[in-house]
Amino acid sequence: MNYINRQGDRTEAWGRGSIAKNGCGVVAAYNVLLHSKVAVEFETALGQMQKIGATRLFGLAGVHRRKLAKYLKGKCSSAAYYKFTSKLNASCQHADAIILYCSNKGRITRHYMAGVGNGDGAFTWYNGYSEGKTLATFGDYLASLKPERKPIGYIVVNY
């Protein structure tokens, strides 16, 4: 099993959509779980998330953020969704993983990306924006994003 860094290469269906176009939430969950003690095959995570009804608008609008957090909470010791504000929740400092949820200014699309902790306060970021750093603290990753990337929220995960 390998981390997924390019969801556009995936061919699986996600509801009426596809992982390549609408599956960033499933990819983020898989990458977080791969780093944990409960690693699952991608197809297993995909099926489990479909089973709990995590698709938004039949999968065409990706994954519902609260269902994503609930799915991860069922697999890990904790997973909580936080609405993005200028002050990050203190739990970010001790997180095993973080899933960032952003909107794209001027477009209706949104995107999830996963940062898995390295044990030193930094995260390796997967399936993120091309301008984002791949190894950075949560704050530094946010600072590396272009102004049109607007964080909406994030899920803090502990294994």
pLDDT, averaged in runs of 10, over the chain (159 residues): 91 90 95 91 94 74 88 96 90 93 87 95 92 88 92 96
Q: What is the DSSP letter of 159?
A: -
Q: What is the DSSP letter of 103?
A: E
Q: Which CATH architecture has domain 7-158?
A: Alpha-Beta Complex (3.90)
Structural domain boundaries in the chain: 7-158
User: pLDDT, tens digit, for every residue of 91-128?
Assistant: 888 999 999 999 988 788 899 999 999 999 999 999 99
Looking at residue 61, its pLDDT comes to 67
**Nearest-angstrom CA–CA distance, 73 and 158:** 9
Looking at residue 60, its pLDDT comes to 62
Give pTM, 2 decimals.
0.93
Looking at residue 52, its pLDDT comes to 84
Residues 6+ apart with CB under 8 A from 49: 25, 26, 29, 55, 63, 67, 68, 71
